[in-house]
Amino acid sequence: MSLLVLDTLTKSFGGLSAVDDLSLAVRAGEIFALIGPNGAGKSTTFNLISGLLAPDRGRIFFDGADITRTPPHSRAHLGVGRTFQLMQPFHAMTVRENVMVGELFGHTVLKSLPAARRDAEEICESVGLGHLLDRGVTALGLADLKRLEIARALATHPRLLLLDEVMAGLTPTEARQAVASIQGIRARGVTILLIDHVMSSVRDLAERVAVLNFGRKIAEGTFETVAHDPAVIEAYLGQDEADGSH
């Protein structure tokens, strides 16, 4: 049973297509990875799924329902949660208050402030932020900011969690912790779609992988099959050129 289905999704900016005719199905309970060179359209895909962008063409189904025109906050209520690649904590709020926003607004259960506070603290504990509850977010380091991103997304009680480069910039130890943490989240029944450049983590985590290049899906399958696909190798080898050109 597919939890998320993208049907011929297309989005272009000023004539340049960022996502081109993309179709994809993520099964309930799996960890699915979206990889590809920089500028391949991965983050745009996330923005389309979470509702921050509207597609030019194509449709998005979540749990069988068409959510193509559903506003972002309603998608959160349905169970679509996400993190941001460039961490976007709410300044002027503590770690606990950041997570409380998700507990208060991210799902359809109406929670009192004390209940939301308690549940937010629990989530912070679970991702290893328990000792930083009262900290302002400006005082956090990179690894803790990434944890906060995950904690906030978890606070919306997602059924599908979109993780946008939560490993980037972490030390190997921190990355291993993150892998374990993500596996723990899946074990609790959350489906995970992730973008990452850290290939060892993708290999360890993902049951299936799709590769994007210039907005098009060029391969899909297990990590091993995809890694040996000539089109994929070509796309990654060509990356240096593509990087140099912009």
Partner 1 sequence: MTGRALVRGGLLLAVLAAVVVLPLWVNRTQPYYLQLSINVLIFATLALSWDILARTGQLSLAHAAFYGLGAYTSVLLTTRAGLPIVAGMAAGAVVAVVAAVLLGVLTLRLRGIYFAIATLAFSETLRVITNQVRFTGAATGLVAPPLLGGHRPSQYLVILTILLALTLVSWWVNRSRWHFAFTAIRANEEVAAVMGVDVVRFKVLAFAISALFAGITGAFYAHVFLFISPLEAYSLAVSVGALVAPIFGGLYTTAGPLVGAVVLRAGEEVLRSTVQRGYPIIYGFLLAAVILYMPGGLAGVWASLAARIPRPARRGARGEPAGS
Q: Using CB under 8 A as the criterion, which residues of the chain lie in contact with partner 1 when the complex forms?
A: 50-52, 71-73, 75-77, 81-82, 84, 88-94, 97, 100-102, 104-107, 113, 116, 134-136, 152-153, 155-156
Centre a 10 Å sphere on the Cβ of residue 188 and count the other Cβ atoms it contains.
8
- Compare residues 59 and 135 and give the one whose CB is closer to partner 1: 135
- Compare residues 93 and 218 and give the one whose CB is closer to partner 1: 93
In the bound complex, what is the minimum distance in angstroms from residue 54's beta carbon to partner 1?
Answer: 13
Encode burial over 47-67: b for 16+ CB neighbours within 10 A, e otherwise. Answer: bbbbbebebeebebbbbeeeb
Question: Contact 152/103 with Cβ under 8 angstroms?
Answer: no
* Rounded Cα distance, 14 and 55, in Å: 13
Q: Which residues contact 159 (CB under 8 A, 6 or more apart)?
A: 3, 28, 63, 78, 79, 80, 189, 190, 191
Instruction: Report the Cα–Cα distance between both ends of the chain, in Å, rounded.
Output: 41
- Compare residues 3 and 148 and give the one whose CB is closer to partner 1: 148
In the bound complex, what is the minimum distance in angstroms from residue 126's beta carbon to partner 1?
Answer: 18
- Compare residues 1 and 92 and give the one whose CB is closer to partner 1: 92
In the bound complex, what is the minimum distance in angstroms from residue 140's beta carbon to partner 1?
Answer: 12
In the bound complex, what is the minimum distance in angstroms from residue 105's beta carbon to partner 1?
Answer: 4
In the bound complex, what is the minimum distance in angstroms from residue 111's beta carbon to partner 1?
Answer: 8
* Rounded Cα distance, 230 and 246, in Å: 25
Which of 243, 234, 212 lies closest to 45, judged by CA? 212
- Compare residues 137 and 235 and give the one whose CB is closer to partner 1: 137
| DSSP 8-state class, residue 219 | E
